[in-house]
A and B are shown apart, each in its own frame.
Chain A
Amino acid sequence: MSSLLEIEGLSVEFRMTDGVIRAVNDVSFDVQRGEVVAVVGESGSGKSITALAVLQLVPQPPGRITAGAVRFDGQDLLRLDEDGIRGFRGRRIGMVFQEPMTSLNPVLSIGRQIMEAMQTHLGLAAAEARARAIELLQAVGIAEPERRLQQYPHHLSGGMRQRVMIATALSCKPDLIIADEPTTALDVTIQAQILHLMQGLCRQLGVALVIITHNLGVVARYADRVNVMYGGRIVEQGPAAEIYRTPSHPYTIGLLNSVPRLDRPRSAPLDPIPGNPPDPLAPPSGCSFRPRCRLAAPHCAEAVPPLRTVTAAHRSACFELQRLRELVPA
């Protein structure tokens, strides 16, 4: 069976007054039905722009998708016009964003916002949409759903709002949900609740999930497969268990060594990645991680390293992979 989502060679650039920012460069990955795929990276790595590009939500101008294809169930979403893509947004692909206060409309009731998608996409009558909205709110753990439908976003706590977003994303029974930092703005215990809920519902309904995050713990707990992004490119991709067991890109290793962890002795040293992320307007030549990389060699400046196979499904974009393996045995 073919992939549910297949992103191939996606490139997105932004034309700014002081230059061109190549936010996403030749990004390819796929998502199978029902699986959880993570895109990890720090700010400016291009992870959110990749997600927005899937649904043609990159603001144009200044943004522009310069190359690539986004095949969803065999159909290239990038070739669709505004009407065509609308049939996918919220219908077959749901979205959950970081800050539910800004992604919910403050002047519309919760009920109206959940029902809107179902009425538009599924042509449901108001009464039927309302009944489904009540069922959805119950499913996401909101008590007294009838009363909540009448309320407005500001009546709800951050965690509750994110539950409403999830209910909305699920309302049309999508095949895929893209969640961009869905819990970053929430408190620790609420964060765990929301992720647990999303995972449970997606499993139950067979919905595939793309989680975009900077949190390596969240990835380890929920993702089946991982794409690590740096400087607008995927630098490593593969099954989660393998990436954590044998990280095979200096950036991934640096990232894993720079987080303090509850599962390690308290005295375990932190080993930060030196330097700063690349300036998006003037990225370094060749490999964009080169200036911060302890393994950088002269040829790293000459060309961009392509993703190469480490083991079956595990790939890394590093010219010095062999030296890396000698220093950090698998």
Chain B
Amino acid sequence: MTARDALFELRDLRKYFPVKRGLVFDRTVAQIKAVDGVSFTIRSGEAFGLVGESGCGKSTIGRCLLKLEEPTGGQILFEDADIATFDGRQTQAFRRHVQAVFQDPFSSLNPRMTVEEIVGEPLLVHGIEPDRVGRLQRVRELLSVCGLPARLVDRYPHEMSGGQRQRVGIARALALRPDFIVCDEAVSALDVSIQAQIVRLLEDLREQFGLTYLFIGHDLSVVRHICQRVAVMYLGRIVEIADCDTLFDDARHPYTRALLASVPVPDPEIERRREHQVIQGEIPSPMNPPSGCAFHPRCPLADETCRVAVPALQAVGDDHYAACPKVGEASPDPAWVAGVTGMNAMRPSTAQDEDQSSCHHDFPSS
């Protein structure tokens, strides 16, 4: 899976968190395998999506890439250099290239700092704009790039709306002119109409500055919209990885299909035709994951072999990998598939052609 233009390459990344018991002699009694053998490549200039439900390890991977967590095993290569071997100066240089935008701008922005201080801080810390006048000028530019009026420089986070706060968080991430930004649930906490604004902003910025994103999210529609490639995670492992068009049109892993089937689409006509196959069971505890394929207790296709062996990712198409021994077999129960694939085919056939134009309720651009 190596590519010439790889910005980041993860090789068998593992991150285990110890579970400790005891008040005086805290003993490690178990390990949570938050990330358990994950390999993928993030290509320069792309938006790479990481989706999965809580506890699947997607945020931990983001934190490892930011060098905020020390991996338990495996390697992370940034422009072919192992980030674990970086010394202090190299790490500082690395951090200029790699920035983050988090979910809740209210808790990731210091409530006692003004916008000027928040956005200007990286410039100060890295000694790029030691002079306050120059820094203020740069902060104003960054705000304007992120669609905020320059007069907000004196505001505190609580004086702004959620959308504005997220824009400030993005302006701060851009301050050091990074190559790479981890967007960890960056639009999840926002209202629908504001979410679309921030998605658009992130897309524009990527184009304008040639940024690379790791976009971590649980909203499949948003990830599909922003990303070029996407990996689906379940309990610390990647279960499927492909480019977005392939993954969403031709999902192979039963878990990916279950996720897609769970997302209701805003069209009652389609929803009425869709088979609502609800996947049973809960997400197991990462402290005590099931044997073999972690998804087997919930999987409609699971058999004895799935309980024993951990399935490896195998190629199922062009640049498309899935970790399921069943993907090669005869297609599963039709009812199971019907809820998932070919949603466009389920529209009334007469409307199919005009679909695009009639259903996007277009206003002429003002």
Q: Which of B30-38, B191-199, B325-333 contacts A (4 or more CB under 8 A)?
A: B191-199
CA gap between A188 and B366 in the complex, in Å: 37
Asked, given contacts A217-B265, A272-B197, whether A43 binds B191 with beta carbons under 8 Å apart, the answer is yes
- Interface flag for A321 (CB, 8 Å): no
Asked, given contacts A220-B267, A268-B360, A276-B163, whether A189 binds B262 with beta carbons under 8 Å apart, the answer is yes
Q: Are B53 and A259 neighbours in the complex by a CB distance under 8 Å? A: no
Asked, given contacts A260-B221, A266-B224, whether A276 binds B268 with beta carbons under 8 Å apart, the answer is no
CA gap between A91 and B60 in the complex, in Å: 45
- Interface flag for A263 (CB, 8 Å): yes
CB 8 Å contact bits of A210-241 with B (1 = contact, 0 = none) = 00001111111111000000000000000011
CB 8 Å contact bits of B260-294 with A (1 = contact, 0 = none) = 11111111111100001011101100000000000
Asked, given contacts A188-B220, A188-B263, A192-B262, whether A266 binds B225 with beta carbons under 8 Å apart, the answer is yes
- Interface flag for B161 (CB, 8 Å): yes
- Interface flag for B356 (CB, 8 Å): yes
Closest to B276 in A: A196
- Interface flag for A187 (CB, 8 Å): yes
Q: Are A220 and B264 neighbours in the complex by a CB distance under 8 Å? A: yes
Interface residues of A in 16-46 (CB under 8 A from B): 42-43
Considering residues A217, A241, A256, A264, which has the most beta carbons from chain B within 10 angstroms of its beta carbon? A264
Measured between beta carbons, the chain B residues less than 8 angstroms from A274 are 197
CA gap between A318 and B67 in the complex, in Å: 52
- Interface flag for B322 (CB, 8 Å): no
Of B197, B224, B268, B279, which is within 8 A of A262 by CB?
A: B224
- Interface flag for A254 (CB, 8 Å): yes
- Interface flag for B248 (CB, 8 Å): yes
Q: Are B263 and A217 neighbours in the complex by a CB distance under 8 Å? A: yes
CB 8 Å contact bits of A186-203 with B (1 = contact, 0 = none) = 011111110010000000
- Interface flag for B158 (CB, 8 Å): no
CB 8 Å contact bits of B329-366 with A (1 = contact, 0 = none) = 00000000000000110010000000010011111101
Interface of B is mostly: helix
What count of chain A residues pass the 8 Å CB interface test? 54
- Interface flag for B303 (CB, 8 Å): no
Q: Are B264 and A294 neighbours in the complex by a CB distance under 8 Å? A: no
Q: Are A221 and B360 neighbours in the complex by a CB distance under 8 Å? A: no
Measured between beta carbons, the chain B residues less than 8 angstroms from A193 are 278-280
CA gap between A270 and B193 in the complex, in Å: 10
CA gap between A12 and B142 in the complex, in Å: 41
Measured between beta carbons, the chain A residues less than 8 angstroms from B253 are none
Q: How far is the CB of A68 from chain B (nearest CB, A)?
A: 26
Asked, given contacts A247-B361, A257-B361, whether A157 binds B268 with beta carbons under 8 Å apart, the answer is no
Of A241, A266, A294, A327, which is within 8 A of B268 by CB?
A: A241
Q: Are B191 and A259 neighbours in the complex by a CB distance under 8 Å? A: no
Of A217, A241, A327, which is within 8 A of B266 by CB?
A: A217
Interface residues on B, range: 35 or more
Q: Are A42 and B192 neighbours in the complex by a CB distance under 8 Å? A: yes
Asked, given contacts A260-B225, A262-B343, whether A216 binds B266 with beta carbons under 8 Å apart, the answer is yes
Interface residues of A in 258-300 (CB under 8 A from B): 258-266, 268, 270-274, 276-277, 294-295
Q: Are B196 and A188 neighbours in the complex by a CB distance under 8 Å? A: no
CA gap between A162 and B200 in the complex, in Å: 34
Asked, given contacts A187-B54, A253-B363, A294-B366, whether A216 binds B192 with beta carbons under 8 Å apart, the answer is yes
Considering residues A159, A218, A266, A274, which has the most beta carbons from chain B within 10 angstroms of its beta carbon? A266
- Interface flag for A205 (CB, 8 Å): no
Measured between beta carbons, the chain A residues less than 8 angstroms from B218 are 187-188
Q: Are A188 and B259 neighbours in the complex by a CB distance under 8 Å? A: yes
- Interface flag for B302 (CB, 8 Å): no
- Interface flag for A328 (CB, 8 Å): yes
CA gap between A218 and B264 in the complex, in Å: 6
- Interface flag for A152 (CB, 8 Å): no
Measured between beta carbons, the chain A residues less than 8 angstroms from B364 are 327
Measured between beta carbons, the chain A residues less than 8 angstroms from B222 are 260
Considering residues B53, B245, B347, which has the most beta carbons from chain A within 10 angstroms of its beta carbon? B53
- Interface flag for A255 (CB, 8 Å): yes
Considering residues A247, A263, A328, which has the most beta carbons from chain B within 10 angstroms of its beta carbon? A263
Asked, given contacts A247-B361, A253-B363, A270-B225, whether A261 binds B265 with beta carbons under 8 Å apart, the answer is yes
CA gap between A263 and B273 in the complex, in Å: 13
Q: Are A270 and B248 neighbours in the complex by a CB distance under 8 Å? A: no
Of A187, A221, A255, A266, which is within 8 A of B271 by CB?
A: A221
Closest to A196 in B: B278
Q: Are B269 and A217 neighbours in the complex by a CB distance under 8 Å? A: no
- Interface flag for B244 (CB, 8 Å): yes
CB 8 Å contact bits of B209-226 with A (1 = contact, 0 = none) = 000000000101110110
CA gap between A42 and B194 in the complex, in Å: 10
Measured between beta carbons, the chain A residues less than 8 angstroms from B197 are 272-274
- Interface flag for B13 (CB, 8 Å): no
Binding site for A on B (CB under 8 A): 53-54, 161, 163-164, 191-197, 199-200, 218, 220-222, 224-225, 244-245, 248, 258-271, 276, 278-280, 282-283, 343-344, 347, 356, 359-364, 366
16 residue pairs of the A-B complex, CB under 8 angstroms, read A189-B258, A192-B261, A215-B264, A220-B271, A244-B267, A244-B269, A254-B193, A256-B361, A258-B192, A258-B195, A259-B266, A260-B221, A266-B224, A272-B194, A276-B194, A328-B361
Binding site for B on A (CB under 8 A): 42-43, 157, 159-160, 187-193, 196, 214-223, 240-241, 244-245, 247, 253-266, 268, 270-274, 276-277, 294-295, 327-328
